[in-house]
Structure formats: structure tokens, C-alpha cells
Amino acid sequence: MFIIENGLVLYGENMEALKANVIVENGKISEITKEKRTNVKKIDATGCIVAPSLINSHTHIGDSLARDVGDGESIERIVKPPNGLKHRILRESESEEIIDSMKQSMMEMLASGTTTFVDFREGGFKGLDLIEEASEDISIRKIVLGRHKSFFDPDAEISYVKNVTKNLLKFCDGIAASGFGEIREDIAGMITEICRKQKKISAIHVAEYEKLQEQSLKKTGKTEVERAINSGFDLLIHLTSPIRDDLELIAQSGNSVVCCPRSNGLLAVGIPPIKEIFDRGINILLGTDNVLFNSPNMLREMDYALKVVRGYYKDYFAPAEIFKMATINPAKAFNLDLGCIKEGKTADVMLVKQISNNPILSIINRTESKNIVGLIKDGDILFKKT
């Protein structure tokens, strides 16, 4: 048991700023109080914001060893499985190289306030082994969504892929299909059905750029979003180029959407229509996408997202809503008992030096890793700088 004293607490789902103390006991936040405590371990948060730690809802950390490779090439040439540039590099790299680079990315996430990340894990069973080995001595929460090369095989027997999927799910938290340019409809439906029965996550990239939507319409008469919802996927990644009734369909389905604006911007495929998605009541999460393109730093992702949304729409967008996309929104999407500072929640907390009088903007707009002076996960103090 310990108490975090003298900080400015972002309390509850609405991130209300309160001068209060946070008591942590048995891995949970047991009390928010203005009272002091004696005879208990204390963490002095004077001058700090006490905030929920961050959740990175979409990563590909396996390509951490190929940082900034292929800049200026087309997105298909860089990342389209199974023979994109990143996939060739991964096949040609030693396991030790991949593991070391993934470790670096995990440590970077912790240093920038992220205690949970969701990874699209390439490489089948070997890929799952690599991320397990990489995270063995690192106290970070990972949600791993597996993938297998048979998903991309146009001639694969559905019975074989079904067995592979069931076996994969013994070792991971769900399945990460790439996109409808690489996966058959029958395999997509089979994957989501198995995930649903096992209460695991099914996720897929959709509408990442206009060409994919055009190809989908030409081939099937449906958008990628329609196909994803009809197939039963839980989590839709990117949604940079929705068309027709895509947003209404998602709102009706209750699906969550992960936006990756830095990645989309760097690849010149557009900017996700975050305000339009938000205005329809869709649960929006943020992710940093491939480490090949971006650092897995959610502070930078929030900063970019806020500014690009305001610039794109020429309108105000509340910083608190961006912050929720990296905290409470993904906690709800992944059924995690964290994401906000509230009694009974898991104690995943960061202590951030307050730089401005607006605490949320202070985090989004000005905070760097050096300003995060403390990090707590599951009630364990990972670091506390003096």
C-alpha cells in the first residue's frame, strides 16, 4: 500500500482535475482523498499531474529493426504481405536482432508513459515466441493478435486455416488479419466466428487509403468497412478513407476504430476523419502503427492528432477527447479495468511534471519522456525519478 500525495489528479472518465491524493492497495486504486495518511509509503507528486498511463492500440513492433526503411516508396511496396519490404527484412533477419529491436520499442513505450500496447504480430507461431521472449523481463502489458501465412494463401483449405487459427489462439489474445486485399471472405468469417466463441479479439485494417476502397467496390460491390462488419470483426484499424455509409454502419455496429494519423500522414494516404467518427458516437482509439514509420510514442501521437484534427476541420476539438483515445476508450474496447484514475480501477498511473495551467494540454502539447517522473503498472512502481 502507498499514497501518491500533493499531485493534480485527473479523476474519473471525464478527467476532472482535482487536488487530491491517490491511495493504491493490492494493485488497485482504493481511494481518492484530500486527507493525508501516516505510517504508509508516500510518493510525493508535488508539481505533477497524476494521470492514467497510456494505451497504444495499434503497433507492429516486429519491424522495429527496420526503422525508416523504404521512405518514399508506395505503401504496397513497403508493408503489403507477404512480400512487402518489411516482410522480406523480417524473413532475412536473425531472431536475436528482432528480439532486441522489440525490447527497445517496449522500453521506449514505458519511458513515454505507455503501459499497455496492442500488437499485430506477424510471423505465425514463431512471431508469438519472439514477442514473448522480447517481453520476458519487461513489465509492460501486451495484447497480442496473431497472424499466419495461410491467411494469405488463395488456395488454402478452410479446414487447415481453421485448425491453424484455433492453435494460434492458444498462445495469443486474438487474430490480426491484414486486410481484404489479402484475405478471402470465407477465411475472414471463420476467423471472427472462432474469436467470438473464444471471447478473443478479431481485428483488421480497413479503408486505409482510397485505392483499397475502389478495389473492394469493383470486386464485391461493397466497401472494406461493409465487408469487415459483415464478417464480424471487432476492431477496425485506420479508417482513413470511409465512403458511402461506412461511418453510419460502424456507429450501428458498435465497433471500435483505431486511428493512426501519424502513420497515415507519413505515408501520404490521407488523414482519418476523426471528428466525423467522433460525432457519430464511435469509440475511437489511437495507435502508432509500424515502428518502421513512427516511434511508438503515444505522446507524439496525441499531439499530432489534436493539431491535425483542428487544422483539417478548422474547428475546435477538445484535448480531453484526444486523451481519452489513449486511455479510457481503449480500456473499454479491450475490457481492461483501467484507463482512468478512479476507485476500484487497476493502478496504471503516470506522474507527469505539470508544464502549463491546462493539465491535459500540458500532457498532450508539451510533455516529453523526460517529463514523466513516475510510472506505475498494476500497482507496482516501475520507476520514480527524484
- Choose the final residue of a domain: 333, 352, 375: 333
Q: What is the 3-state secondary structure (H, E, C) of 162-183?
A: HHHHHHHCCCCCEEEECCCCCC
Query: Is the pLDDT confidence value at 386 over 80?
Result: no
Is the domain of 293 the same as that of 351? no
Does residue 163 share a domain with residue 129?
yes
- 47 and 59 co-located in one domain: no
Q: 359 and 273 in one domain?
A: no
Output the pLDDT for position 6: 96
CA-CA distance, 33 to 229, in Å (whole number)?
44
Domain with residue 155: its CATH number is 3.20.20.140
What pLDDT is attached to residue 84? 84
On the question of pLDDT at 86 being above 90, the answer is no
Based on the fold, state whether residues 84 and 232 are members of the same structural domain. yes
Looking at residue 46, its pLDDT comes to 97
pLDDT at residue 38 is higher than 80: yes
Indicate if 227 and 93 belong to the same structural domain. yes
Q: Please tell me the distance from the alpha carbon of residue 64 to that of residue 106, in angstroms, as a whole number.
A: 10
- All three cell numbers of 25, joined, read 492497495
At 157-180, the pLDDT tens digits run 999 999 999 999 999 999 999 999
pLDDT in tens, 278-337: 999 999 999 999 999 999 999 999 999 999 999 999 999 999 999 999 999 999 999 999
Q: Which residues fall within 8 angstroms of residue 332, CB to CB, at 6 or more apart? A: 256, 283, 339
Residues 9 and 21 placed together within one structural domain of the fold: yes
Boundary of a domain, candidates 311, 333, 355: 333
Identify the domain containing residue 106 by its residue range.
54-333
My answer on whether 156 and 271 are in the same domain is: yes
pLDDT at 92 over 90: no
* Mean model confidence pLDDT for the chain: 96
The count of domains in the chain is 2
Spatial CB neighbours of 377, under 8 Å, sequence gap ≥ 6: 53, 115, 139, 140, 141, 347, 348
Considering the domain architecture, whether residues 249 and 351 belong to the same structural domain is answered as no
Task: Please report, for the domain that includes residue 368, its CATH number.
Answer: 2.30.40.10
Instruction: Enter the pTM of the model.
Output: 0.97
- Domain termination residue (choose one: 333, 349, 371): 333
- The larger pLDDT score, comparing residue 210 to residue 88, is at 210
Same domain, 159 and 222: yes
Q: Return the higher-pLDDT residue of 117 and 71.
A: 117
For 190-217, how does the pLDDT look when each residue is reduced to its tens digit (9 = 90+)? 999 999 999 999 999 999 999 999 999 9
* Predicted confidence (pLDDT) per residue in 229-271, tens digit: 999 999 999 999 999 999 999 999 999 999 999 999 999 999 9
The answer to whether residue 227 scores a pLDDT higher than 80 is yes
**Cα–Cα distance, 345 to 375 (Å, whole number):** 16
The mean pLDDT value for 40-66 works out to 96
Q: What is the pLDDT of residues 366-379, one digit of tens each?
A: 999 999 999 999 99
At 75 the pLDDT is 86
Whether residue 230 sits in one domain with residue 376 = no
- Whether residues 84 and 164 fall in one domain: yes
Asked if the peptide bond before residue 82 counts as cis, ω within 30 degrees of 0, the response is yes
Band of pLDDT at residue 342, cut at 50, 70 and 90: very high
